[in-house]
């Protein structure tokens, strides 16, 4: 099985949609998504600076829309009916839309409000996130707990993201576990922790107005790496995920159990294929960063019935 993945916050960079809007049909699609999100995604994907697109209220709809743009392009070029889907953190909204659980309009509306609410929650206390790369997992988790932090993202492949107060993150960096590096992330707050609980109730109220459908594709949830069988329960998980850890490690285990033969990461790509190269060794990967990468993704899907292909 080929698994198509949708990245999370932090994957965006200034100008990452320049090559996409150079293609008229993709520019039109991005304009449509901008209308649904009620935000100028064209400007934010091309001319906005790093500080602007780091803003949670901007970053989240921008990233989801970019993945939906790449998904539309991919589905127009090849049959994607048999691929599996998964998203990392906010990328789960793009995956939910690709899997037919949410409409594009509902996905972008929810993400816009999610970003707004999480941005507000992040102003209540000075918090952040740091990636802890390497080390022995047991030692890393113990150090995170000892510092008073939360393992907010269990990404697998030797990467755990710690979240909490800035002072506690600084303390962790000063006494990093043996063999590990602590790398501060450019995010506004301690996402996927109790610091985000103020956003959950309001997002649930908004989500209650949405009518989700059953998934049309195999879809894994960040909650525990299981396969989603019902739309409304997944929507509830999307809401609770705001203050709950992301278990990408369990999603990758689910991919392996399903017999993954290749992984494609939609725009803005790079982070998840990087993790996959370490955690799913030998599995071909394609990062769809520009329209030029679509051909390689199409070939990977086509080759899935012919056996393994070389890594892209």
**Options 11, 48, 130, 192, the catalytic residue:** 192
Element (H or E) spanning 3, and its range? strand 2-6
- State whether residue 47 is helix, strand or coil: coil
Check residue 309 and give its pLDDT. 41
Strands 127-134 and 84-87, bridge-based pairing: unpaired
Strands 2-6 and 159-165 come out as unpaired
Helix/strand/coil for 290: coil
Report the predicted TM-score, pTM, of the whole model to 2 decimal places: 0.94
User: Does residue 192 have an active-site annotation?
Assistant: yes
Q: What is the pLDDT of residues 48-92, one digit of tens each?
A: 999 999 999 999 999 999 999 999 999 999 999 999 999 999 999
Q: What angle do CA 300, 284, 151 make, to 5 degrees?
A: 125
Catalytic option among 34, 89, 243, 244: 89
Sign of the C-alpha dihedral computed for residues 247, 248, 251 and 256 taken in this order: negative
All CATH 3.30.70.250 domain ranges of the chain, comma separated, are 127-184
- Class (C level, CATH) for 127-184: alpha beta
The reply to whether 304 belongs to the active site is no
**Sign of the alpha-carbon dihedral angle for 142, 223, 285, 261:** positive
| Beta-carbon contacts of residue 297 (< 8 Å; ≥ 6 apart) | 74, 264, 286, 288
**Spelled out in words, what is the top-level CATH class assigned to the domain 2-122+193-303?**
alpha beta
pLDDT for residue 306: 64
**pLDDT computed for residue 305 by the predictor:** 63
Which DSSP string corresponds to 78-120? S--TT-EEEE-TTHHHHHHHHTTSS-HHHHHHHHHHHHHHHHH
pLDDT of residue 284: 97
Per-position pLDDT tens, the chain of length 312: 999 999 999 899 999 999 999 999 999 999 999 999 999 999 999 999 999 999 999 999 999 999 999 999 999 999 999 999 999 999 999 999 999 999 999 999 999 999 999 999 999 999 999 999 999 999 999 999 999 999 999 999 899 999 999 999 999 999 999 999 999 987 889 999 999 999 999 999 999 999 999 999 999 999 999 999 999 999 999 999 999 999 999 999 999 999 999 999 999 999 999 999 999 999 999 999 999 999 999 999 999 866 544 444
CATH 3.40.366.10 maps onto the chain at 2-122+193-303
């Amino acid at each position: 099985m080929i698994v198509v993945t949708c990245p999370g916050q932090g994957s965006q960079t200034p100008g990452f949609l320049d090559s996409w809007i150079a293609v008229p049909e993709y520019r039109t699609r991005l304009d449509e998504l901008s209308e649904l999100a009620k935000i100028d995604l064209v400007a934010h994907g091309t001319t906005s600076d790093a500080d602007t697109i780091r803003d949670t209220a901007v970053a989240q709809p921008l990233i989801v829309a970019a993945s939906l743009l790449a998904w539309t392009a991919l589905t127009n070029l090849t049959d994607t009916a048999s691929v599996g889907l998964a998203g990392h953190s906010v990328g789960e909204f793009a995956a939910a839309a690709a899997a037919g659980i949410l409409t594009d309009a509902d996905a972008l509306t929810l993400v816009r409000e999610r970003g707004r609410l999480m941005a507000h929650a992040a102003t209540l206390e000075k918090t952040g996130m740091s990636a802890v790369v390497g080390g022995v997992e047991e030692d890393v988790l113990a150090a995170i707990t000892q510092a008073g932090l939360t393992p907010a993202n269990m990404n697998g492949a030797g990467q755990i993201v710690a979240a909490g107060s800035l002072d506690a993150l600084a303390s962790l960096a000063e006494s990093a576990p043996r063999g590990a590096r602590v790398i501060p992330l450019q995010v506004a707050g301690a996402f996927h922790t109790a610091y985000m609980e103020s956003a959950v109730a309001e997002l649930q109220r908004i989500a209650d107005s949405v009518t989700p459908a059953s998934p049309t594709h195999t879809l894994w949830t960040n909650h525990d790496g299981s396969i989603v069988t019902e739309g409304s329960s997944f929507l509830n998980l999307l809401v609770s995920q705001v203050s709950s850890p992301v278990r990408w490690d369990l999603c990758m285990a689910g991919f392996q159990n399903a017999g993954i033969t290749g992984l494609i990461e939609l725009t803005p790509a790079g982070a998840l294929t990087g993790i996959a190269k370490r955690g799913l060794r030998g599995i071909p990967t394609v990062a769809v960063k520009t329209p030029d990468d679509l051909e390689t993704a199409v070939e990977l899907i086509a080759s899935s019935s012919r056996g393994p292909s070389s890594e892209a």
